[in-house]
Structure formats: structure tokens, C-alpha cells
């Protein structure tokens, strides 16, 4: 059973003469097959939490571990290997290469694992089929809709068969219909593959598709439904 | 004053542009730098071109003043000064004044310089021009000394009152400098390689007492034709009667190949300049498109946005172009400040650049136009039916992806142009320069399909690679955008120009080197006037007997030569002693039998003529040739057709005996010395120098030294082409590197996302470097291939149309060097920003 665990994690940034308490004593566990939505207003520390989970940042205090491995104790090389082999990352801005096809965009992780382009294409194609792009393998990003582009990005995150899925505002650039599709897809993937997933979002609709919702405010974690937070209620109603 | 245009006040336009400058200073700076470099290249080349003949033109016009006609001698020996008096007495002549012009060397405390000594009469002042400003009534004429232009005085380290040596006609004289002519006093002379003296002084220095080479004539209004006829009658077929500025036509013909070559470079520079501007503006497209979308969403209408875009483009174009003109002026004054010294033998030529307002305005206008055209692409977002915020959903690269069909059409058009140019040049060789420009366009057209081909082929090649960097580069390369095409095209154009013109220049140098080696191989030692590589300046042959008595010398042969004007050509006449082993260079034969032709020339009454001149006059081997000489029209027959041996005006080669007969001169212009066996050329030269004594104006050189001096002169003459070519390459490589660096910098968010996905900085850096090198190499390859084709056409043109010795040789070394130079410069320059971009923190890919 893979699990992402954060225990009493603290991360502060100096900002001028003040200190920003981005993450302030957060404890969290996401287990296999569980998709968790992380809400929070801008500057609440969501991205910092994501960076800590991805091993891109060490906490000032506390412990971040995945599958029993302490991410803070990893060397840069080990940390890169962790992201390569264990983490699938989905971005709001997709970050697709404009000249490359959907297939070549989705496989971009694999060459770093030592696969040839030929092998990588063979390994990636089923994932594009899985996300519904089996007919659009050779299409370039500008020939795809926004939802399809995000599907390519999701396929790219999945091709390495990650043990952890991290998503940063994956529906931030999508309309409501495409948002629904993507959220369904993420939920299904987490459930099917039995991987833990952390979804950073502003989107109120995500609630319906995730297994659990947590909220970060001023660096502190608030477990529970977002309607309890007036600021997010306003956001949802808008 | 601050009235609104389309609802926008000028102050608002300025405000919006200032906002843009504050938000994106680096991009705007890069765009401005690209435009400035482009304008500098164009302006520098145009200025260098104009400067080549500018000084001579000013000098000739200043000297001739209001004169309309001139009576010209056909040899440096000139004609009696008294003839000027007879011209003056002709009905209809208002003014007639004598001038003596002779090539000399002036030597001062810190150096020596070949000059054209101009002897003038006080009556010259009545022509206006320079004489009214200084020569007619100034200190110079009263002093009886030598007048030196500021440039010459500076070179030899002379000031007013300094005693200098004037060397020529086999003798040396000491004389005081009476005046240093500065640009403030006589602008026309200040930059010219001349020395001015009163006629009697000049006659004494040149050893031409009582003789002049030119009479300048001012006819009464409406009587020019009548006076010309009277002068012709007086000339008796032994002197030429021409318009006063006839020399400019001769110079124009002599500089045609140089001018046309630099014109081709000008055209290439214009194209490179436009592409630089286009590329520079494309760098700013993403920001400008987003800004336009924001304005549209705020309620700005299309016309207002167009006005704002135009204002910003004109402002940027204007500032950058003015900067480019200043930079181009500096380039022309420093790098391109080279006068082809071989032309100075026949013309008082000096490369002298002065800022031309007309050229500057044209260059600025071109720069602004290029900026406006290059900044048009965001206007596409204003198309009807396109949502205002479409840019925010666009996944393509800035500048837009090129479609496969567009690339195919480009490739097809490029190939068709190449075929058509080949056919055109084969039919009309004179159209080669136009063909060169068309090939430059074809080069640009071939870049997109070549890039697409390599981008398609690269992943196939790398299918078995396990390198993340290789696969990353392969994926990124497939985005063939307007920007990547512009980058590749800049490199391709620069390489094309360098390979085509550089290759032709190398052919020409090789041809000239072969010709000069054979030309000088007829003697162990050459004794000639010190400044003249063409051996056309005379000196008394009396020295022959003295040299014949030198123990090391086995033989002394008198070589004679000169320059004669026929039509618009100033021909090089080469008159070899019949004892020479060869009468002309075997390697320069184009038509005729070499052995038979030599026998005919030795026999007398026959000559070898260069092919360009022969074609112009319909001459074939065996045809009758009529040469205007100081003793009238010489009737000769054509023994062979040759190249022009490196002199653009063309050559006539005959025997020294025929020359003496027709030119009526006993003067030598060079002495060919044989040495006894066992005497080394160096030892022989030493012995001959001793025999001539320290005061001689003659230069003694071995055959190899003489050939090397002529080769150096040819190389110097073609140096501007080399400089322009190198400058174009370096500018293109640096500009492309800067643009690529910006492109890479703009991709940092994607690079950050790759880092999150497991790539490390080294892999990203290698991938970026590989992608850039491939793109530059593709551009270089296209440029090199079309360049070799252009080189072949140029060599054909040089040989067939101009008659230069330029045997085609592919010059693989030059091509590879050019290819490697551009790729290496660009790669080295982009490696640093590439490394910085690859070190991007991963969090940059996330949205906070």
C-alpha cells in the first residue's frame, strides 16, 4: 500500500522583514486509490505543499515521506529518481511541446528512464487510448481542444505508471464540461491504479469527484467540506 | 496640439508604449538590437560601395570645375605644353589650362605613399572648383612647394614646411611641403591620394619639362561640339578629346565587378536585415498578442489597436534604425575603409566614406518599414470572428506553425527559382548579379522544407537513442514556426553570401596569383617604379647600360607598358621584349594557339587582347585591331584572346618593339634582368641595388617578390568583400544566437515542467544545445549548397562576362570553414543562456 504522509510539516519563507508561514504544522496522509482535493485561497500554501510532496523542496521541520521513504533525506539525484519513477505530475498550463504530436508529448518522461523512442511510443500509446485520444495520436497541441490537451498531459503523467499522482489546478484552463471529464478521468485512474492522488484546485466542482476534501488556510490544514469556509463558498457560488 | 486620433490621444499612445517598455525591456531591447544590426549591415555596405568612387568623383569634378572638354595624352609622356596655347586660341574657347598628372611616391619622416602628382597652372583658377578655394590664390601656389592632402600628410608624417622626397620616373627629388590641404579648405582633395604642385614644379619632379598630359577647356556657351571638333583636328589623331569628366566613366567600368559584387552583398544584407528585424519582432509577439487581447477585452476597437501597433513599430524602428545608421557608418569607416590599391595605379582613388544623408534616410526608411512589416503578425488576432481572448487558448509557438503545404510550396518555389536562375545566367551571363539575388531568395524558400525534412528525419534517426536530450531536441525541432524559419534563413543567407562571393573571390585570387607568377617568371629580377604593380610608369631607359655592366647580370631587357583609354575602358597595355621566354601567360589563354600566337606577337603587328574587350569590339583571333596610340591609330591583328590578367579594364599584349614604334617612346616601364648561373636572385638584387645607388627611385625585386607584391595588391583590392562577408557571418551568427537564447528563455516554464518530470539540468541543456545546433546547421547547409551553386555561376560570370582569370574550384575548405564558423559562434553564444535556462527552478511550471 503506497501512501503519501506529511507529519507536522513546517515551511516558512522570508519575505522582506516578515516571514511567510506557507506551511505551518501540516499533517496529512493520502493512501492508495484515494484522490484528495486541496483547496485554499491564493497564497495559502497549496503550491508549497505540492512542491514538498514532489520532493522539490525540503521542509524546515517535520517529515514528508512516500511509501516509507523520507523525501527530505534524499539527495538531488534520488529526488529526481523519485519524481521520475514514482510521481505523475499534471500542470494547469499543460506544458506541451508545440511541434510534437500528442504521442511524442505524452512519452517525454520515458527517455529519461532509459527507454528508446521506439519503446516509449509503444508504451505510451495505450495510455492515450485510455484517456480517449486513440484517434488523435499524431495531432499536435494546436490541433487539439483544451480538454484534449489536458488529457495528453494526464497521459504523460501516467505513462511511467506512477505510484503517486500530483495535479496543480488541472482544470484551471477548462470550461465546465471539460472540467467534469478531466475530474472523472483522474478519479478513475486513481481508483483503477490504486494510486494516491493530490489535486490542488480552486474548482468547487471537484468536490463531487474526489474522495476527500481538505483546505489549507494560512499554512494550516482544515479537514472538511469547503462550504464551511465562507471565502470558498463565495467562490463556489460565483 | 494633443488632439485625438481615432479616439486616442498621442499622449495615450506614448503612455501605452512606455508601459510596454517597462514591462518587457529586454525583449524590446533585443528587437531594437536586431533591427539596428540589420540596418547597420545594409548601410555599411551601401556606404562602402558609394565611398569607392566618391573621392575620385569629387577630385575629377573639383579639378575640372567648369571645364566641359579635355584634351588627353595617350601616354604619361604627354604632349607639348604649347599645344594648350593653340587650344586657347581656337574660336569658341573661353579658357584652356594645362594639367600634368603622373604617378609618383611621396616619402616623409614616417612613411611613404603612392600618389598622383597633379601639376596645375595659375589659369586653373578661372575654372572655379578647387582652384578658387585654395590653389589659385592661396599660399600653395605662391610657395612653389608641394600641396599634400591631410590624409597623405598624416600617413607620411609631414606638415607644412617639412621636406619630403618625391620619387618617380626613376629619380628622387627633395621638396618642401607648401601646404597641407585640409577638409575645411578643399574638401574634394582632402581624402585623395594626390599631391599638387605648380606645373613647372610638377614637370621638374616628373622629368617632363615642357610637357603636360591634359588640357582642360571651357568652351563658350553652345559651342561645345564645335570646339570639340576643332580640338580633334588639332589632336591629329594622336590625342583624345573627351568630356572633362570622362575619367569617371573609365573608373565606373573598372570598378563594375567590385561594385556588382558589393551590390549582391547589399541585397543579401537587406534580406538578412529584414529577417533580423522580423525575427526580433517575432520575439515580442507572445507579449504583444496578450496585450492586444487585454485591450480588446477592455473595449479598444480594431483601428485603435492598429494605430497603437503602428505607433510602437514606427517608434522602435526609428530609434533602432538611427542607431543602425550610426553603427553602419562606423563599420564603413573602420572595417570597410579600404581602397583597392591596384586601381590607384590608374585612378586617384581612395576609399573615403562620408555620411550620405540620402543613403541614411533610405536606410532608416527601410528599417522602419521592416519593423512595421515584421510587427504585423499580431494583427492576425484582429481577424473577424476570432474571439478577443483567442491567444490565451493558443498552443502553437509564437509566429505560428507553418503548414506542410506551405513548406512544400516554399521548397518547390525555391527549386524552380534555382533552375530558372541557371537557365537565365546560361543565356544572359550579365544577369548573374540578378541571379545571385534570386538565389538568395531561393535560399530562404528552401529553409522551411529542409527544416521540416530534418525535423521529420531526426526522430527516426533517434528512435533507437536512449538519450533524453536527443529525444527532447527531436520533439522540439518539429515545431517549424515562422520564427524558426526566420532564424534558419538568416544563417542560410549569411552562409550563402559568404560561400558564393567568398568562393568567387578565392577563384579570382587563385587566377590572379597564377597569372602574376607566370607574368613575372620571364626574368630573375624586375626593376621598376616603386609603386606600380602593373609596370606602367615610365623612367629613362638610360639605366640599362649601367645595369648590363653589373657582373651578376647576364641580360637586361626593356619592358614597356601603359594605359590607354578606348571607349569606356582604360586598357592595360603590356609590351614585352621579344627576348622574353613567353609573350603572355599560358594560363591566361582563352582562344588561339599559344605557341603560334607568341611567334606572331614577336614577329610584330600582332597582339593578344582580353576576351571582354574583344567581345565588346567584335574581335576574334585574326581580326584587325585598331589601337589609339600617341602616333595615331595602330593597326594590329589579334593573335589570341586572353583573360584580363586581373585588370578590370582589360589587357592588350604586344611586343616592346611595336610599342616603341607606336608610342614613340624610348622610356622603359620595367627592366627584366637575367642573372648568371650560380647567382642567387637575392644576391643579384643586392648587386643591382648597389649599381643603382641610394638616390634611385627604382625598386629592384626578385621575380617571386614582384609576383607577391602584385598578389598582395589584388588581395587588398578584394579585402572589402572579405570584410563584408565576415561581418555578415558574425552578425548573423550572433543575432541568431541572441534570438535563440531569447526563445530558450521564453521556454523556461516548459523546461521547469520537464524538470518536475525527472529531467535534470544537464539533459535539458544538452537538448537545447542540440536543437539549436541542428537548426543552425540546417540553415548553414542550405546556404552552403546554394552558395556553391552561386559561386559556380559567379565564377562563370567573372570568366565569361568580365574576362577575369577565375577558374572555378569548389573551395571545400572555405565552405566547411564558413559552415563551422557560423555553427560554432552561434552554439558557443547560446550555450550560456541555455545553461541558465536549464537551471530554471521547477516551481516555475506551477501556478501559484
Q: Is B480 on the interface with A (CB under 8 A)?
A: yes
Q: Is the pLDDT of residue B134 over 60?
A: no
A vs B, Cβ pairs < 8 A, gives 130
Q: Is the pLDDT of residue A115 over 90?
A: no
Chain A hits for B763, CB-CB cut-off 8 Å, are: 112
Q: How much of chain B is in helix, strand and coil states, percent to nearest 5?
A: 60, 15, 25
- Find which of B285, B477, B846 to mutate to test the A interface (most A CBs within 10 Å of its CB): B846
Alpha-carbon distance of B605 to B614, in angstroms, equals 17
**Inter-chain CB proximity B763 and A112 less than 8 Å:** yes
Q: Which of B65, B195, B100, B218 is nearest to B140 (CA)?
A: B195
State the average pLDDT over residues B659-677. 90
Chain B hits for A52, CB-CB cut-off 8 Å, are: none
- Find which of B466, B468, B758 to mutate to test the A interface (most A CBs within 10 Å of its CB): B758
The reported pLDDT for the residue numbered B132 is: 47
Closest Cβ–Cβ partner in B394, B459, B756 for A54: B756
Closest Cβ–Cβ partner in B396, B466, B758 for A116: B466
Which one has a higher pLDDT value, B760 or A103? A103
pLDDT band at A197 (very low <50, low <70, confident <90, very high): very high
B153-190 burial code (b ≥16 CB/10 A, e <16): bbbbebebebebbbbbbbbbbebebbbbbeeebbebbb
Alpha-carbon distance of A103 to A98, in angstroms, equals 12
The reported pLDDT for the residue numbered B596 is: 96
- Dihedral angle sign, alpha carbons of residues A3, A8, A12, A18: positive
Which one of A66-75, A171-180, B181-190, B393-402 scores highest in mean pLDDT? A66-75
Q: Is B463 on the interface with A (CB under 8 A)?
A: yes
Query: How far lies B144's CA from each of B64, B140, B172, B485, in Å?
Result: 22, 7, 18, 66
**Inter-chain CB proximity A100 and B464 less than 8 Å:** no
| Shortest distance, CA A169 to any CA of chain B (angstroms) | 8
Q: Up-side HSE of residue B157: CA atoms within 13 Å toward CB?
A: 6
The reported pLDDT for the residue numbered A235 is: 45
Q: Is B585 on the interface with A (CB under 8 A)?
A: no
Q: Which of B575, B572, B597, B566 is nearest to B654 (CA)?
A: B575
State the average pLDDT over residues B670-678. 93
Query: Which residue of chain A is at minimal alpha-carbon distance from B395?
Result: A142
Entry pTM = 0.76
Closest Cβ–Cβ partner in B470, B477, B846 for A50: B846
The three cell numbers locating residue B420: 530558372
The reported pLDDT for the residue numbered B37 is: 83
Q: Residues B604, B606, B611, CA angle at the centre, nearest 5°?
A: 155
The reported pLDDT for the residue numbered B184 is: 56
Chain A hits for B471, CB-CB cut-off 8 Å, are: 108, 111, 117, 120
**Inter-chain CB proximity A83 and B394 less than 8 Å:** no
- CB of B255 within 8 A of CB of B84? no
State the average pLDDT over residues B188-197. 77
Query: Which residue of chain A is at minimal alpha-carbon distance from B398?
Result: A98
Query: How far lies B192's CA from each of A46, B183, B353, in Å?
Result: 76, 11, 12
- Find which of A49, A77, A78, A80 to mutate to test the B interface (most B CBs within 10 Å of its CB): A80
3-class secondary structure, B1? coil
The ipTM estimated for the assembled molecules is 0.79
The three cell numbers locating residue B839: 537551471
The reported pLDDT for the residue numbered B130 is: 53
**Inter-chain CB proximity A56 and B477 less than 8 Å:** no
**Inter-chain CB proximity B395 and A47 less than 8 Å:** no
Least confident of A65-79, A98-112, B129-143, B834-848: B129-143
- CB of B156 within 8 A of CB of B77? no
Compute the mean pLDDT over every residue in chain A, rounded to the nearest whole number.
Answer: 84
The reported pLDDT for the residue numbered B386 is: 64
The H or E element containing residue B560 is strand B553-566
Chain B hits for A104, CB-CB cut-off 8 Å, are: 459, 475, 478
SS3 sequence of B589-602: EEECCHHHHHHHHH
The three cell numbers locating residue B49: 560601395
State the average pLDDT over residues B164-180. 86
The reported pLDDT for the residue numbered B82 is: 93
Q: Is B397 on the interface with A (CB under 8 A)?
A: yes
**Inter-chain CB proximity B395 and A100 less than 8 Å:** no
| Shortest distance, CA A100 to any CA of chain B (angstroms) | 5
**Inter-chain CB proximity A89 and B393 less than 8 Å:** no
**Inter-chain CB proximity B462 and A117 less than 8 Å:** yes
- CB of A171 within 8 A of CB of A182? yes
Exposed/middle/buried for residue A175 (C-beta within 10 Å: 0-12, 13-18, 19+): exposed
| Shortest distance, CA B401 to any CA of chain A (angstroms) | 8
Alpha-carbon distance of A122 to B616, in angstroms, equals 71
Closest Cβ–Cβ partner in B465, B478, B757 for A99: B478
The H or E element containing residue A85 is helix A76-85
Strands A212-217 and A35-39: parallel
Q: Residues B460, B466, B468, CA angle at the centre, nearest 5°?
A: 90
The reported pLDDT for the residue numbered A227 is: 47
Q: Which residues, in sequence order, are CB contacts of A91 under 8 Å at separation 6+? A: A153, A168, A170, B753, B845, B846, B847
Exposed/middle/buried for residue B122 (C-beta within 10 Å: 0-12, 13-18, 19+): middle
A126-164 burial code (b ≥16 CB/10 A, e <16): ebbebbebeebbebbbbebebbbbbbbbbbbbbbbebbb
Q: Is the pLDDT of residue B598 over 90?
A: yes
- CB of B459 within 8 A of CB of A111? no
**Inter-chain CB proximity A112 and B759 less than 8 Å:** yes
Q: Is B290 on the interface with A (CB under 8 A)?
A: no
| Shortest distance, CA A184 to any CA of chain B (angstroms) | 22
Query: Which residue of chain B is at minimal alpha-carbon distance from A143?
Result: B395
A76-101 pLDDT, tens digit per residue, is 888 888 888 899 998 888 888 887 88
Q: What are phi and psi of B110, to 5 degrees?
A: -125, 15
| Shortest distance, CA A4 to any CA of chain B (angstroms) | 17
Alpha-carbon distance of B576 to B671, in angstroms, equals 10
B515-557 pLDDT, tens digit per residue, is 899 999 999 999 998 767 888 888 888 888 889 999 999 999 9
State the average pLDDT over residues B816-823. 86
B283-304 pLDDT, tens digit per residue, is 777 777 777 877 777 777 788 8
Q: Is B475 on the interface with A (CB under 8 A)?
A: yes
Q: Is B756 on the interface with A (CB under 8 A)?
A: yes
Q: Is B802 on the interface with A (CB under 8 A)?
A: no
The H or E element containing residue B671 is strand B670-675
Q: Is the pLDDT of residue B654 over 90?
A: yes
The reported pLDDT for the residue numbered A233 is: 44
Which one has a higher pLDDT value, B390 or B608? B608
Closest Cβ–Cβ partner in B750, B758, B843 for A112: B758
Amino acid at each position: 500500500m503506497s501512501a503519501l504522509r506529511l507529519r507536522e510539516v513546517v515551511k516558512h519563507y522570508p519575505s522582506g522583514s516578515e516571514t511567510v508561514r506557507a506551511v505551518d504544522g501540516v499533517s496529512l496522509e493520502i493512501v492508495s486509490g484515494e484522490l484528495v482535493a486541496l483547496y485554499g485561497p491564493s497564497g495559502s500554501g497549496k503550491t508549497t505543499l505540492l512542491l514538498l510532496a514532489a520532493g522539490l523542496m525540503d521542509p524546515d521541520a517535520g517529515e514528508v515521506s512516500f511509501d516509507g521513504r523520507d523525501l527530505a533525506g534524499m539527495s538531488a539525484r534520488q529526488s529526481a529518481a523519485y519524481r521520475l519513477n514514482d510521481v505523475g505530475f499534471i500542470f494547469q498550463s499543460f506544458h506541451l511541446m508545440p511541434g510534437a504530436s500528442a504521442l511524442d508529448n505524452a512519452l517525454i518522461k520515458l527517455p529519461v528512464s532509459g527507454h528508446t523512442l521506439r519503446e516509449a511510443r509503444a508504451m505510451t500509446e495505450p495510455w492515450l487510448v485510455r484517456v480517449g485520444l486513440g484517434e488523435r495520436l499524431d495531432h499536435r497541441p494546436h490541433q487539439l481542444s483544451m480538454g484534449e490537451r489536458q488529457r495528453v498531459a494526464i497521459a504523460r503523467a501516467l505513462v511511467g505508471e506512477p505510484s503517486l499522482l500530483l495535479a496543480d489546478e488541472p482544470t484551471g484552463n477548462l470550461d465546465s464540461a471539460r472540467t467534469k471529464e478531466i475530474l472523472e478521468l483522474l478519479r478513475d485512474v486513481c481508483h483503477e491504479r490504486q494510486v494516491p492522488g493530490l489535486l490542488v484546485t480552486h474548482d468547487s466542482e471537484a468536490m463531487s469527484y474526489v474522495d476527500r476534501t481538505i483546505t489549507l488556510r494560512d499554512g494550516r490544514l482544515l479537514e472538511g467540506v469547503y462550504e464551511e469556509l465562507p471565502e470558498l463558498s463565495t467562490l463556489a457560488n460565483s | 496640439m494633443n488632439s485625438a486620433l481615432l479616439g486616442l490621444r498621442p499622449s495615450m499612445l506614448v503612455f501605452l508604449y512606455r508601459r510596454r517598455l517597462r514591462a518587457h525591456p529586454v525583449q524590446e531591447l533585443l528587437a531594437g538590437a536586431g533591427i539596428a544590426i540589420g540596418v547597420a549591415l545594409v548601410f555599411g555596405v551601401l556606404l562602402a560601395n558609394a565611398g569607392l568612387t566618391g573621392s575620385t568623383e569629387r577630385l575629377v569634378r573639383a579639378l575640372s570645375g567648369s571645364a566641359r572638354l579635355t584634351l588627353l595624352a595617350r601616354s604619361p609622356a604627354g604632349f607639348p605644353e604649347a599645344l594648350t596655347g593653340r587650344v586657347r586660341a581656337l574660336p569658341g574657347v573661353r579658357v584652356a589650362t594645362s594639367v600634368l598628372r603622373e604617378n609618383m611616391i611621396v616619402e616623409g619622416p614616417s612613411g611613404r605613399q603612392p600618389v598622383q602628382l597633379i601639376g596645375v597652372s595659375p589659369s586653373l583658377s578661372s575654372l572655379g572648383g578647387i582652384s578658387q578655394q585654395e590653389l589659385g590664390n592661396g599660399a600653395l601656389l605662391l610657395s612653389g612647394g608641394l600641396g599634400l592632402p591631410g590624409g597623405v600628410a598624416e600617413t607620411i608624417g609631414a606638415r607644412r614646411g617639412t621636406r619630403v622626397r618625391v620619387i618617380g620616373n626613376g629619380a628622387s627629388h627633395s621638396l618642401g611641403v607648401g601646404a597641407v590641404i585640409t577638409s575645411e579648405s578643399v574638401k574634394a582633395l582632402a581624402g585623395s591620394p594626390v599631391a599638387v604642385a605648380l606645373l613647372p614644379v610638377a614637370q621638374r619632379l616628373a622629368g617632363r619639362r615642357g610637357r603636360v598630359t591634359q588640357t582642360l577647356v571651357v568652351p563658350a556657351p553652345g559651342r561645345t561640339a564645335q570646339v570639340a571638333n576643332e580640338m580633334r583636328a588639332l589632336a591629329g589623331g594622336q590625342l583624345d578629346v573627351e568630356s572633362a569628366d570622362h575619367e569617371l566613366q573609365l573608373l565606373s567600368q573598372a570598378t563594375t565587378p567590385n561594385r556588382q559584387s558589393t551590390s549582391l552583398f547589399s541585397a543579401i544584407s537587406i534580406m538578412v536585415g529584414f529577417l533580423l528585424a522580423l525575427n526580433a519582432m517575432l520575439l515580442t509577439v507572445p507579449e504583444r498578442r496578450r496585450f492586444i487581447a487585454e485591450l480588446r477585452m477592455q473595449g479598444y476597437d480594431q483601428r485603435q489597436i492598429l494605430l497603437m501597433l503602428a505607433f510602437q513599430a514606427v517608434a522602435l524602428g526609428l530609434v533602432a534604425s538611427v542607431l543602425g545608421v550610426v553603427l553602419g557608418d562606423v563599420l564603413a569607416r573602420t572595417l570597410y575603409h579600404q581602397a583597392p590599391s591596384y586601381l590607384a595605379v590608374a585612378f586617384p582613388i581612395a576609399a573615403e566614406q562620408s555620411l550620405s544623408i540620402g543613403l541614411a534616410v533610405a536606410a532608416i526608411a527601410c528599417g522602419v518599414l521592416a519593423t512595421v512589416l515584421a510587427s504585423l503578425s499580431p494583427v492576425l488576432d484582429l481577424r473577424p470572428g476570432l474571439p478577443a481572448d483567442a491567444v490565451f487558448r493558443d498552443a502553437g509557438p509564437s509566429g505560428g506553425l507553418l503548414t506542410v503545404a506551405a513548406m512544400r510550396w516554399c521548397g518547390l518555389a525555391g527549386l524552380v527559382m534555382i533552375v530558372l536562375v541557371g537557365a537565365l545566367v546560361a543565356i544572359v551571363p550579365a544577369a548573374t548579379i540578378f541571379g545571385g539575388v534570386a538565389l538568395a531568395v531561393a535560399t530562404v524558400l528552401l529553409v522551411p522544407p529542409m527544416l521540416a525534412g530534418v525535423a521529420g528525419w531526426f526522430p527516426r534517426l533517434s528512435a533507437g537513442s536512449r538519450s533524453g536530450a536527443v529525444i527532447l531536441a527531436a520533439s522540439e525541432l518539429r515545431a517549424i514556426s515562422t520564427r524558426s524559419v526566420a532564424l534558419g534563413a538568416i544563417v542560410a543567407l549569411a552562409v550563402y553570401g559568404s560561400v558564393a562571393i567568398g568562393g568567387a573571390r578565392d577563384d579570382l585570387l587563385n587566377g590572379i596569383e597564377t597569372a602574376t607568377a607566370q607574368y613575372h617568371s620571364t626574368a630573375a629580377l624586375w626593376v621598376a617604379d616603386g609603386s606600380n604593380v602593373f609596370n606602367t610608369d615610365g623612367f629613362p631607359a638610360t639605366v640599362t647600360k649601367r645595369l648590363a655592366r653589373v657582373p651578376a647580370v647576364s641580360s637586361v631587357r626593356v619592358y614597356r607598358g601603359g594605359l590607354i583609354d578606348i571607349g569606356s575602358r582604360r586598357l592595360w597595355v603590356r609590351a614585352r621584349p621579344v627576348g622574353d621566354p613567353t609573350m603572355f601567360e599560358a594560363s591566361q589563354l582563352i582562344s588561339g594557339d599559344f605557341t603560334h600566337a607568341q611567334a606572331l606577337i614577336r614577329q610584330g603587328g600582332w597582339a593578344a587582347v582580353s576576351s571582354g574587350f574583344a567581345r565588346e569590339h567584335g574581335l576574334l583571333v585574326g581580326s584587325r585591331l585598331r589601337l589609339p596610340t600617341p602616333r595615331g591609330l595602330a593597326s594590329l591583328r589579334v593573335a589570341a584572346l586572353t583573360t584580363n590578367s586581373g585588370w578590370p579594364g582589360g589587357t592588350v599584349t604586344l611586343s616592346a618593339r611595336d610599342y616603341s614604334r607606336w608610342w614613340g617612346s624610348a622610356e622603359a616601364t620595367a627592366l627584366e634582368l637575367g642573372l648568371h648561373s650560380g647567382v642567387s636572385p637575392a644576391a643579384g638584387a643586392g648587386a643591382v641595388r648597389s649599381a643603382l645607388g641610394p638616390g634611385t627611385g627604382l625598386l629592384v625585386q626578385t621575380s617571386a617578390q614582384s609576383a607577391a607584391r602584385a598578389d598582395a595588391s589584388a588581395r587588398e583590392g578584394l579585402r572589402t568583400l572579405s570584410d563584408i562577408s565576415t561581418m555578415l557571418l558574425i552578425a548573423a551568427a550572433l543575432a541568431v544566437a541572441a534570438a535563440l537564447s531569447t526563445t530558450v528563455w521564453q521556454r523556461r516554464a516548459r523546461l521547469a515542467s520537464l524538470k518536475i518530470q525527472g529531467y535534470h539540468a544537464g539533459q535539458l541543456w544538452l537538448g537545447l544545445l542540440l536543437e539549436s545546433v541542428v537548426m543552425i546547421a540546417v540553415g548553414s547547409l542550405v546556404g552552403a549548397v546554394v552558395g556553391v551553386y552561386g559561386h559556380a555561376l559567379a565564377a562563370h560570370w567573372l570568366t565569361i562576362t568580365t574576362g577575369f582569370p577565375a577558374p572555378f574550384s569548389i573551395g571545400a575548405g572555405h565552405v566547411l570553414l564558413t559552415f563551422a564558423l557560423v555553427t560554432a559562434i552561434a552554439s558557443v553564444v547560446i550555450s550560456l543562456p541555455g545553461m541558465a535556462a536549464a537551471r530554471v527552478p521547477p516551481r516555475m511550471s506551477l501556478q501559484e
